[in-house]
Amino acid sequence: MTKTEKPVALSRRNVLRAAGAVGVAATAGALAGKVFSPAIAGPAPKIRLAWGDIAACHSPLGFGVAKGLYAKHNLDVELYPFTSNGQTVIQALATGKADAGAGLVGDWLKPLEQGFDVKLFVGSHGGCGRLFASERSGIKTLADLKGKTIATFVMGASPQTVLQVSIFKAGVDPNADVNWKVVPFDLVGETVARGEADAGIHIDPWAWAIEKKNNLVHIADTQSGYYKGHTCCVLGANGKFLAANKDAIRRLAQANIEVHDYTANHPEEVARWYADNLKPAGLTAADLTEILGALVYHDHPVGQPLIDQIRIGAEDLKLVKVLDPETDPKAFAERVTVDILA
């Protein structure tokens, strides 16, 4: 993810300065008249949490820190932003810049297959990746993509990785039957609008804005069709940090579930915080409420449901030749997850 997309270039006004100061945030943490204060006695362990600070779907994480929801679970959460693409959350954990982080399933699985020392422990949401097409392309369903050109800002990472599974399930080979056109992050919409590609793939809030600005046809997303009921973003913890701080990660999972449930029930409140603190140019609080309201924040698998979803994800990525043919999806899913609430 980058912060160059038009028309929603996001300017980060050092929102983390206050968000990192959990003591201050907890004092000011009033949500709809409710103040969240630490529920557990004793010093709060510190967790550096990597988040895509400019992505709409990650806004509940910043909201939760700023409003004291993590402090309520006796956690001192410091947010570490990554803003280029989903692979940077993996780099943050690998280099010790973060202890845990939120990332797209399609970004996690290949590095985990290669032995990256991270355990996935809770899902957060679904629906933030979209596939859209121009009206003149004649594309109305995924099956119509055969022989067409799809613009994407990156190959081999979400949302391109996971949505090519949807394409495959519709009977179109994403390797042989589709032409992929890699363009700059902020030019995907313009490329489709100018007819230089028939369809495009992006993530919110950019995908939402691209569809609205260019009057494009919404074809699929990571919570429709085949992906209905699946989470597209999960939290993972550095293996060594998890081993030494399992109780803190358990409470982080509980806080994550709580803040996303809150977002599901109060998208307008989280959207206002997002608009006020990250100032997404060209998007109003009402726009952001529509974006957040369309995402699935009440479905956050943990334990066996998470293992099952990771297994299915591994099976799917084998189909489109992202994971190795010899990988056993069941054994893989059990290896890279932890039942943190057990």
In CATH, what number is assigned to the domain containing residue 237? 3.40.190.10
Structure token digits, residue 121: 């422990």
Same domain (yes/no): 122, 255: yes
Verify that 255 and 325 share a domain, yes or no. yes
Nearest to 317 by CA among 110, 103, 111, 86: 110
Domain with 170 in it:
129-227
- Tokens 């090519």 map to which residue? 164
* Main-chain phi, psi angles of 120, to 5 degrees: -80, 135
Do 197 and 288 have their domain in common?
no
Strands (E), 231-291: 233-238
Is the Cα dihedral 183, 186, 189, 191 positive or negative? Answer: negative
135: in domain: yes
Rounded Cα distance, 317 and 333, in Å: 13
Q: Which residue, 227, 244, 275, sits at the end of a domain?
A: 227
- From 208, 227, 246, the end of a domain falls on 227
Residues 252 and 114 reside in one and the same domain: yes
65 and 204 assigned to the same domain: no
**Together in a domain, 21 and 122:** yes
Are residue 110 and residue 142 in the same domain, yes or no?
no
Mean pLDDT by 10 residues, the chain (342 residues): 35 33 32 44 86 85 95 95 73 90 89 92 88 95 96 86 90 94 92 96 90 92 82 92 96 96 94 86 87 86 94 92 94 96 90
Final residue of a domain: which of 227, 248, 270? Answer: 227
Whole-number pLDDT of residue 55: 83
Q: Are 333 and 301 in contact (CB under 8 A)?
A: no
Domain count, the chain: 2
Closest CA to 181 of 165, 166, 192: 192
Q: 15 exposed, middle or buried (CB, 10 Å; 0-12, 13-18, 19+)?
A: buried
Q: Which residues contact 245 (CB under 8 A, 6 or more apart)?
A: 45, 47, 99
The DSSP string of 199-238 is: EEEEETTHHHHHHHHHTPEEEEETTSGGGTT--SEEEEEE
Q: Do the domain assignments include residue 294? A: yes
Q: Which residues pair with 118 in a beta bridge?
A: 238
Q: Do 173 and 39 share a structural domain?
A: no
Do residues 139 and 189 share a domain?
yes
Helix (H) or strand (E) holding 315: helix 304-319
What token pair was written down for 140?
A: 């109305």
**What pLDDT is attached to residue 125?**
85
Assess if residue 302 is contained within a domain.
Answer: yes
Distance CA(204)–CA(45), nearest Å, equals 32
Q: Is residue 61 part of a domain?
A: yes
Enumerate residues 6+ apart whose C-beta is below 8 A from 335.
Answer: none
In a domain, 341, yes or no: no
Answer yes or no: do 114 and 134 share one domain: no
Verify that 23 and 55 share a domain, yes or no. Answer: yes
Question: What pLDDT shows up at residue 84?
Answer: 54
E strand spans, the chain: 30-31, 34-35, 46-51, 76-81, 100-104, 118-125, 129-133, 149-152, 179-182, 199-203, 217-221, 233-238
Other CB atoms within a 10 A radius of the CB of residue 34 amount to 10
Q: Is residue 35 part of a domain?
A: yes
Checking DSSP bridges between strand 233-238 and strand 100-104, what pairing results, if any?
antiparallel
Q: Tell me, yes or no, whether 117 and 265 share the same domain.
A: yes
pLDDT value of residue 86: 65
